Structure 1
Amino acid sequence: MEICSHKNSIALRQSYTSPIGVFDSGLGGLTVVRELRRLLPSEEILYLGDLAHLPYGTKSTDEIRRLSTECARFLLKKKIKALVIACNSASSVAFKLLSKMLPIPVLDVISPAVETALAFTRNRRIGVIATYATIESGSYARSLEARSSDAEYFLKPCPLFVPLAEEGWLDDVVALEAARKYLAPIKKKGVDTLILGCTHYPLLEKVIAKVMGPSVRLVDSAAPTAFRLKALLQKKGLLYPRARRAPLKIFVTDHVRNFARIGESFLGEKLKTVKLVKVP
């Protein structure tokens, strides 16, 4: 495979001036980019949204791994210095594979969220909401079990949250009723911390918080992932050293209806450089 065959030579070409690569199955990963832009404004970011194959959350493990490998290969050719898998479904089944294959640091969005949730929880009862693929992969369960022997966790797939976020139905009666139905079983368990296990879900944070109540802390993976990346780049001497507002380049494999509105709601800024690409 091409990624492996050039592993050593590619690794040698990385420097602090190289960009950071981020990919997701759609535009939800722009919530992670938003935090990266806030915390690391000097870093150039290349974002790949695989809209042609959206969503990953309903696909098989093998197919998610194949698509994730293609996204990683595309970004690696752009000489990125680190890769963020800004998709919980891809993180859950492709993170270990890509970490072994790639010559650069690879970050997922699951372990930073789990570590933050364990730091926040008081009663050691943690809820996780995510897509079917993420829940069924067992990634959150394994990550929680590996880091805590006494914490209880409760998992719930919430597949309709993704189209609600993309339609912009963030705090209306439809979103509220969906949240009430999805979250009722988790709320009954008495959790005091809830992991938003999909990068789309932060857009629905207001309605989720309304249903769960003020005593439940919501954990979004974006901020802890950004902090982890900053620490990693510092450790490896790859952090860009000078102050600037670095460019953000967005690549997509398809254009969707309301693309600009959806993308800008996730990113929190105007979409300036967007290029349609073909990822084999």
Structure 2
Amino acid sequence: MTSPVLPPLTAPVAVFDAGIGSYAAVDRIHRAFPEQDIVYLADRASFPYGGKSLPELRTTIERTLDHLEALDPAPSAIVVASNVPSVTVLDETVTGRRMPVVRVVPPVREALEKAGEYGEVAVLGVTSLVTSDALVRYVDRESGPGRSARVRLRDASALVELVESGAFLFDPEGTLRTVAEYVARLRGEHPAVRVATLSSTHLPWLRPFLEEAAPDLDFLDPGDSVIAEIAPHTRAGSGSVVGLVTETPDYPADRFREMLARIGVEIPLVPVTIA
């Protein structure tokens, strides 16, 4: 494990995921707490989380948490920005941690309330999330008696790829067509859906396209709950955002730097290795 030399930071909040999607959470935290220092880790060497077995994902998340806990200065809290590990393995990996770990999970309870007595909810996520037994158990727990039948688990991997590839930036017309086709299929199969949760870190980047394709649906961002959860752990600093990135020959740091530039983000980006 290599520990990067960080600039002077004050009790930074750490945010991590395997892709660019989690920068949306970084931006949300930065806007809510402009003086908060943030360490943003993009673990590209582990991309995609959704393609791993549960034992592999558990090991990956444990190593990443270990790495972030060892930073100097140590984070005041760590945000696991991805829904997949938050739902499937995080319960087993946070025991005994020295600092608070905040997860991002589908806001099923809120979505059902917004959907009304007869409306349905679509949880949009990657394949490994929406086909997992852990998500089924989570939905049952969050829905309450007799309500889980109104929750539809929908694979949105094709939409996630629009963000990961950068298509939503350089081909907005094509992106809107793909999103509109996806929404049309969703509504054709589940016409009672009134609310959808954007349960992949990538999907909030597509919210404008989703709202244009389906202006009568409510789209909920699971990341919204992060603000309230980390508020007790925030400290006034310089408002700096420092990026860390792991890399492989297929996912070099320079390519990730280019992806950030496409969305107008320029931050210090330090390559690291998590062993």
Cα 1:101–1:271 change in 2 (3 A) is farther
Q: Does 1:279 align with 2:274?
A: yes
1:55: Cα distance to partner? 0.9
Aligned: 1:40 with 2:33: yes
Q: Structure 2 CA distance, aligned partners of 1:138 and 1:209? A: 30
Q: TM-score, normalised by structure 2?
A: 0.82
For 2:111, the equivalent position in structure 1 comes to 117
1:81 is aligned, of 52, 76, 84, to 76
Match in the other structure for 1:224 = 225
- 1:95, CA displacement in angstroms? 1.5
Deviates more, 1:200-209 or 1:136-145: 136-145
Who is 1:157 aligned against?
Answer: 155
What is the aligned partner in structure 1 of residue 175 from structure 2? 175
SS of residue matched to 1:110: coil
1:62 shift after superposition: 1.0
In percent, how many aligned pairs have the same letter?
Answer: 23
Within 1, Cα distance between the matches of 2:135 and 2:14? 24
Please say if residues 120 and 193 of structure 1, whose CA atoms lie closer than 8 Å, have aligned partners that are also in contact: yes
Query: 1:245, 1:187 → 2: CA distance?
Result: 46
SS in structure 2 at match of 1:262:
helix
Secondary structure at 1:75's aligned position in 2? helix
Amino acid at match of 2:39: L
- Distance change (3 Å), C-alpha of 1:245 and 1:265: farther
Partners of 1:124 and 1:131 lie apart in 2 by: 23
What residue in structure 1 maps to residue 56 of structure 2? 63
Shift of 1:222: 2.0
Superposition TM-score, scaled by structure 1 size: 0.81
The equivalent of 1:137 in structure 2 is: 132
Deviation at 1:25, TM superposition (A): 0.9
- The equivalences for 1:93-112 within 5 A come to 93-110=88-105
Name the CA distance, whole Å, in 1 between partners of 2:105 and 2:223: 10
Secondary structure of 1:22's aligned partner = strand
Hey, what's the Cα distance between the residues in 2 that align with 1:141 and 1:67? 23
Code of the residue aligned with 1:216 in structure 2: it is L
Contact 1:141 1:153 in 2 (8 A): no
Which amino acid is the alignment partner of residue 178 of structure 1?
Answer: T
Q: Closer, same or farther in 2 for the Cα pair 1:141/1:181, shift >3 Å?
A: farther
> 1:5 maps to which residue?
none
Whichever residue aligns with residue 187 of structure 1, its letter is R
Cα distance in structure 2, aligned partners of 1:119 and 1:245: 39
CA contact (8 A) 2:88 2:135 kept: no
Runs of 4+ in 1 over 4 A off after TM superposition: none
Partner of 2:193: 191
How many angstroms does 1:71 deviate by?
Answer: 0.9
Q: Which amino acid aligns with 2:125?
A: A
Inter-partner Cα distance in structure 2 for 1:23 and 1:75: 9
Q: Does 1:260 align with 2:257?
A: yes
The answer on whether the counterparts of 1:154 and 1:186 sit within 8 Å (CA) in structure 2 is: no
